[in-house]
Amino acid sequence: MTLPKGLAGVVVDQTKVSSTQGAVLTYAGYSIKELKNAPFEEVVFLLWHARLPSAEELNDFKKLLVSKMVLPYETVQLMARIAREPQHPMSILRTTVSLLGTTNDIERDDPPRILAKMLTAIAAIIRIRNDQPIKHVHKAWGVVENFIYMFSGNRPTPEQVAQFNTVMVLHADHEFNASTFTARVVASTKSDDYSCLTAAICALKGSLHGGANEQVFKMLEKIRQTGQDPIQYVAQRMAGGHKIMGFGHRVYKNGDPRAAILREIARQAAHETGNDDYFALQEEIKDYMFKTTRLHPNVDYYTALIYHCFNLDRQTFTTMFAACRTAGWLAHIIEQQSEGCLIRPSSEYVGETNRHYFADKEEKIID
């Protein structure tokens, strides 16, 4: 039996949620290039129902999501304690999602309610960690506008809403990535949605998955703070065998289509917030990486700068990823649970064989 490491290229199941076939990202058959400016709520509806909503359905869905962006009192009380612990925000989010699963009525819960509360919980974690009061939803605003307001404390401009809406749409799903597959494995056991999401968050926390955006900005900060030549810094890191985060993708060998869209948003956001030097630094590194390795930026590369332009601490970047990806996680959880099939792969044993307990014990005694 010969299998590629990490199951690369191995088809393990079918899905109607999203696809990366031909290195083109589509949601339920629609190209991400066409959906990039669609309302986030509309894209969520598409992922969950495999069709676009009517104007009336979209309006009702927006109102429903916003109306659910309120946390149970018990959850807020517990979050006020754990969010101040000196742990990574993703660890706090992991525990918070488990709390939501105990302070909510799981039997009556549904995807809109879960997504809405996930967004509010992530915004609350950021506010509590910054010793700032939790902000409450404005029912007349949309989901993205409310989300930005709830984590930043300021009502965003229409331009900011449009920028962040595209970010959330582009991160909403990406077929069987590590965290989504993890969620589907748990969903296949008929576990509850909060357990599935908790498992997905644990997978996303890793630096090779969702944590990559944090590492990208950490690199940019270090180069700026030390005043080191960026090319020299990157070259030394690669010479030492270190991976340059934000470059390369298992699926997109000729460039991540999301990165191409995010690059322009990063350029605009950087210019509007006085971070042009960071964008110029990214462009210099991008050109060098392509010249020396032929690797292109992936979705994490420019997202890191965009999050910084929204005044987010880099440790919270992966929680932003989780906020966007929850829509896709729920879509896959719904699909997997409907299949009613337990995911239980086999493995190839490559360890020692034909060993005998008593004979080996006797040999050790003699020695």
Cα–Cα distance measured from residue 183 to residue 101, given in angstroms and rounded to the nearest whole number: 15
279, amino acid identity: F
Closest CA to 94 of 115, 59, 126, 122: 122
SS3 26: strand
70: Cβ–Cβ under 8 A, 6 or more apart, which residues?
A: 116, 117, 120, 136, 137
Q: Answer yes or no: are the C-beta atoms of 136 and 76 closer than 8 Å.
A: no
Count CB neighbours of 337 within 10 A. 18
SS3 2: coil
153, amino acid identity: G
27 Rama sector, left if φ>0, alpha if ψ -120 to 50, beta otherwise = beta
Task: List, by residue number, the catalytic residues.
Answer: 249, 300
Q: Answer yes or no: are the C-beta atoms of 134 and 76 closer than 8 Å.
A: yes
Residues shown for the chain? 367
Closest CA to 40 of 102, 116, 99, 96: 116
Q: With b meaning 16 or more CB within 10 Å and e meaning fewer, what string describes 210-237?
A: bbbbbbbbebbeebeeeeeebbebbeee
Cα 312 from chain centre: 15
SS3 114: helix
246 Rama sector, left if φ>0, alpha if ψ -120 to 50, beta otherwise = left
Closest CA to 325 of 110, 142, 180: 180
